[in-house]
Structure 1
Amino acid sequence: PEGEIYVGRTPPKGDGWTPEEDVLDTWFSSGLWPFSTLGWPEETPDYARFYPTQVMETGHDILFFWVARMIMMGMWFTDTPPFDTVYLHGLVRDKNGRKFSKSLGNVIDPLLLIDQYGADPLRFTLLTSGTPGNDVNLDEAKVEYTYKFVNKIWNITKLVNMNLDEDLPSGIPHQSELDLPARWIVSRTQKLIKNVQYLFDAYQYGEAGNQILSFMWDEFAPWYLEIAKHPLYNGTPEEKERAQRVMVYVLDTCLRLLHPYMPFMTEAAWRYIPHEEEALIVAKWPEANEALIDEAAESEMEIFATLVRDIRNIRTDYKVDPGKRIAALIAPGSRQKALEDYGYIFGRLCNVPEVTILSNGATAPENAASTVVDDITLYLPLEGMLDIEAECARLTKETEKLNDRIGGIAKKLANEGFVSKAPEAVVQRERDNLDQLQTELKQLNERLESLCK
């Protein structure tokens, strides 16, 4: 009927109706997205704060469909372009770099991945798997790895939360009040903030995310949090409070940096530590404090870290149970006070609770494995650490096996027919194997000589 308008899910009854011919597709409403979501046409606080934005990130395949329309709509309705930079990511492909295709049977349903691992692990994986100019090869194993990282963050948050006292002062103590491990982790945190900001400014979002992961997984959790258990459980009330404040500061900073990658998990975890802002999504972005960068503390901690790694390697070489407590003797060189103050680090990180500081120039103990770091010499007495007679028998058996393998390869390489007829790559592989086995044999003989003389 003339003059009537009908809107519905089913066709109207009767005759004479004409379907609307000017239909706006989904890209029309999408083109309004930069400002319509912020309360436009009203002058809302969100509109004033967030429009225009700086960077628009999308795929090159919808430049015309979406990006161009957003720019045109923004210019028409607000006289302002909605963003100044368009960042184009690569297309998502399968783990072998092939396009997703039903015929290939390689299509990955993101909803299934989200059901299994969560939205944040998938989001982080996509953001960190690509490099500028390249497509993203999506491998479910990477999503699973990120899922484990999320669990790690939850465990870190739980550890920090369960060790906090009520009414904890905000912020970190003055640098002069911090112990060496705290100065180290605070300094490393400032460098992380600087690196992430630099990478963000350079649109290297994947590398920035990987650096946050590496910091939390390789430095904060296994080193500082383990070391901090000493002041938390054995320190004075003042030492305990300082450790708590440093833990909260570092975790808070990491969650803020991670929030663009993992908005749901970081928002939830952030509520378990003291904070002042209403929500993480509107919390202040971290800024590095150059005054807190402490190169001396980082150098000193690197010495402790090297000693810890060397102790772990010695334990592994001698097949010492990781749970077995052992003792250490240390000729301190120029670092006697640091070793006296922080010798507990060896107890926390490599199960060496008993550390004896020797006088410089003291005679080296017999039957001891040793390592030298800078001007420090550390000895691990083997008596009590392992059954020397059994270890000598094991080493002797290992050398016999190595000699047999070396003899077999040497005989093969002495055969002119093999060397002349076999592919060069095969011959070179045998030579490399021989070099490797000879190096291992030399190391075994040195240990046999020092232990079983």
Structure 2
Amino acid sequence: WFVDVDKSARQWKGKKQSLKQISLDVVKSGDIDIIPDRFKKNYFHWMENLHDWCISRQIWFGHRIPVWYCKTIDKKQLTFNQCDPIISIEKPKQCPQCSGKSFEQESDTLDTWFSSALWTFSTLLDKPKKNDTLDSWIKRNKKKGTDLDLFHPTSVLETAYEILFFWVARMILMTTYVMGEVPFKTVYLHGLVRDKLGRKMSKSLDNGIDPLDMIEKYGTDAVRLSLVIGTTPGNDMRMYEEKIAGYRNFVNKIWNIARFILMTDSSDRRSATPIKGRRPSDSDAPTLADQWIQSRLQTLIQEVNEHYNKYEFSLAGEKIYDFLWHELADWYVEISKTQSHTLAPEILLDAIKLLHPFTPFITEEIYQQLKSSKLIDAKDEFLASSKWPEEKRSTKRSPTPIKGRRPSPPSVEKIKSDFKALQSLITTIRDMRAKYNLPYSEKLDAAIATKKHKDMFQEQELVVEALTKVRIQVLPTKPVEKENFIKAHSAEFDVYIKINAKQIEKQGQQIEKEKQNLEQYIASLEKKLSNKNFTQNAPKEIVAQEQKKLEDAQSKLKKI
């Protein structure tokens, strides 16, 4: 049994066309989009060279072809009557040609892909009535409010690229013929899941990963993240246990952020949301950190929505990951410890809404705990049914303040610029502590020389002290060097950390020890490289590696 793909079969866009022509038109005209775009070329190659489709198979399992043959015997000729085959789901009661009542059904089954191609609409149809034609059956099921009316065509089909022709193309053939419309608007193709070395998972290699084992060990959310982040449409991905374990750490980080916010804000701090009818006090006024985290959240919402709309799920996940870990946890939560209020619960709520499609379990649990602690104003029973975060981007720039009136809030650009400078200052001081081995148990003093950020740094002195254990004094120029300082220079400020004689002595001892260790290391490398047995017999790449080690060590010694 064959399907003729070149025969004019259905009216399409005002013209009777073949199944092949319709299937090509729906993608060329943009009625169906294929992601990634490069697979359209594969699709067109297959469909332009499409031959008649053999839909019958000699296998045991499948939909048996609904064709019946009359087996009534012609008593005069002593042969079966030559009646035309009867197409019927049910066994016919009698032959319309010879009135015989003996029938045999076709033994072949339908091709698997023929049966699969029915999926988009067949699940939404009722049982056909006795006198239904194809058109009347579809028309009855397409009435307003029916499943077929509500859910067909499908918005997105997600499947693997290797069955683009076998399944996707067959669904387009079948649905456009039966329904007179496309089966879906967008086809999103994923790649194969491979092992750590890029090999296809197989029983013979015994390199498969059982997702149920990974879920038991690391949790469902971690497995979901490892399958989405770092994956691009149409490309194969590598899946291995260490990757899943890494995302388990991220899930734990989210949980720890939420726990800290719940413990800190449940009793001992006021909400940052002003009470209706009360003028905010200075301690309630939004700080630079508050304004920065709000601006970053708005940017995140905009970028994540754009990525979701473009089906760039990996990029969306990476940006939410970076925001939660490196901005909310590493910076805002730490700074908010110095404030009498915090926006952390509200910021976390919107962030977990964005993350919910990736990690539904941990985000739902956090939502329920935030809600029960009354740290957020949430009436939805579940996070999944709550409103998606909306971007509230302000396009206003800060005007010149009028005398006697409260100054307008700074522009987003100014907030980002100021906070970036604050981050740079804190990071510089931390790096200096690490470089000179200055323990955090010792509180230090420092002078910051800057003209550009003088006022802002003065306002943030307590924040800098809390995050670096260094008390700062902000000056327009460098301090008079009557005391001992260690220095660091940047384009926008200079840092001078005051150290005492004991610390200087300790630094000298440490530097001398490091110098001796380097000299010994260099001597051993020089001896090794002067040995002709080594340089002549060892592989060239090994000799080159040793030479590079020597050059690096000599460079480091020179700096000391």
**Normalising by the residue count of structure 2, what TM-score does the alignment of the two structures yield?**
0.63
- The corresponding residue for 1:149 is 250
Q: How does 1:214-363 map to 2 (within 5 A)?
A: 214-231=322-339, 235=340, 240=341, 243-244=342-343, 247-273=344-370, 274=376, 275-291=378-394, 294-352=412-470, 354-358=471-475, 360-363=477-480
- The equivalent residue for 2:303 is 195
Which structure features the higher share of strand residues? Answer: 2
1:87 aligns to what SS in structure 2?
A: strand
Counterparts of 1:15-164 in structure 2, within 5 Å, are 27=116, 31=120, 52-63=153-164, 67=168, 80-162=181-263, 163=265
For the aligned residue pairs, the C-alpha RMSD in angstroms reads: 3.9
Judge conservation of contact 1:212–1:258 (CA < 8 Å) in 2. Answer: yes
Structure 1 counterpart of 2:232, one-letter code: T
Report the residue type matching 1:270 in the other structure.
Answer: Y
Q: Is the 8 A contact 1:330 1:378 kept in 2?
A: yes
Decide whether aligned partners of structure 1 residues 418 and 93 sit closer, same or farther in structure 2, where only a CA change above 3 A counts: closer
Q: 1:48 to 1:266 in 2, by over 3 A?
A: farther
Contact in 2 for aligned 1:33/1:70 (Cα 8 Å): no
Rg larger in structure = 2
Aligned mates of 2:253, 2:503 — CA distance in 1: 37
Q: 1:33 to 1:225 in 2, by over 3 A?
A: farther
Residue identity in the other structure for 1:113: M
CA distance in 2, matches of 1:209, 1:303: 27
Offset of 1:325 from its aligned partner?
3.0
What is the deviation of 1:407? 4.3
TM-superposed deviation, 1:143 = 0.8
SS in 1 for 2:338: helix
Superposed displacement of residue 420, structure 1: 7.6
Q: Deviation per CA, 1:364-418, whole angstroms, max 9, x where unpaired?
A: 353221212334222222228x643233222112112223333454566678997
CA distance in 1, matches of 2:346, 2:537: 65
Alpha-carbon contact 1:303-1:374 (below 8 Å) kept: no
8 Å CA contact 1:129, 1:137 repeated in 2: no
The amino acid that maps onto 1:289 is: K
Q: 1:438 to 1:388 in 2, by over 3 A?
A: same
* Aligned twin of 1:13: none
Residue of structure 1 equivalent to 2:497: 380
3-state SS of the aligned residue for 2:515?
A: helix
Counterparts in 2 of 1:298 and 1:47: CA distance versus 1, 3 Å: farther
Shift in CA distance, 161/276, structure 1 to aligned 2, threshold 3 Å: same
Rate the CA distance shift 1:379–1:110 in 2: closer, same or farther, 3 A: same
CA distance in 1, matches of 2:386, 2:173: 32
1:9 is aligned to none
Q: 1:90 Cα shift? A: 0.6
- Report if aligned partners of 2:142, 2:148 keep a CA contact under 8 Å in 1: no
Consecutive unaligned residues of structure 2, counting only runs of 5 or more, are: 1-89, 91-103, 126-140, 371-375, 396-410
CA contact (8 A) 2:161 2:234 kept: no
In the alignment, is residue 402 of structure 1 matched against residue 505 of structure 2? Answer: no
Contact 1:54 1:85 in 2 (8 A): yes
Q: Which amino acid aligns with 1:310?
A: T
Q: 1:431/1:394 Cα in 2 relative to 1: closer, same or farther (>3 Å)?
A: same
The residue identity in structure 1 corresponding to 2:315 is E
Task: Tell whether the 8 Å contact from 2:120 to 2:152 is kept in structure 1 after alignment.
Answer: no
Equivalent in the alignment of 2:486: 369
**Distance 1:323-1:299 versus aligned 2 partners, 3 A rule:** same
- Which consecutive residues of structure 1, in runs of 5 or more, have no partner in the other structure? 6-17, 445-453
Q: Determine which of 204, 209, 216 is the counterpart of 2:317.
A: 209
Q: State the identity as a percent.
A: 34
Aligned length: 410
Aligned 8 A contact 2:120 2:183 in 1:
no
Q: Shift of the alpha carbon at 1:122?
A: 0.6
Using the TM superposition, give the Cα deviation of residue 339 of structure 1 relative to its aligned residue in structure 2, in angstroms: 1.2
Q: Could you tell me which residue of structure 2 aligns to residue 450 of structure 1?
A: none
Q: Which amino acid is the alignment partner of residue 337 of structure 2?
A: K
Q: RCO (CA 8 Å, sep 6+): is it higher in 1 or 2? A: 1
Aligned residue number for residue 551 of structure 2: 435
Of 360, 378, 390 in structure 1, the residue corresponding to residue 506 of structure 2 is 390
2:124–2:147 Cα contact (<8 Å) kept: no
SS in 1 for 2:364: helix
Q: Deviations over 1:334-386 (max 9, x none)?
A: 3221111111222232222x2233463531353221212334222222228x6
Structure 2 CA distance for partners of 1:432 and 1:297, relative to 1, 3 Å: farther
> Counterpart amino acid of 2:499?
L
SS at match of 2:508: helix
Letter in 1 for 2:505: E
1:9-20 correspondence runs (5 A): none
Counterpart-to-counterpart distance in 2, 1:170 and 1:198: 32
Relative to structure 1, the CA distance from residue 371 to residue 168 in structure 2 (aligned partners, 3 Å threshold; closer, same or farther) is: closer
Q: Partner of 2:414: helix, strand, or coil?
A: helix
Show the counterpart of 2:137.
Answer: none
Q: For 2:337, what is the secondary structure of its paired residue?
A: helix
For 1:55 and 1:183, how far apart are their aligned partners in 2?
A: 38
Distance change >3 Å, CA 255–CA 46, structure 1 → 2: farther
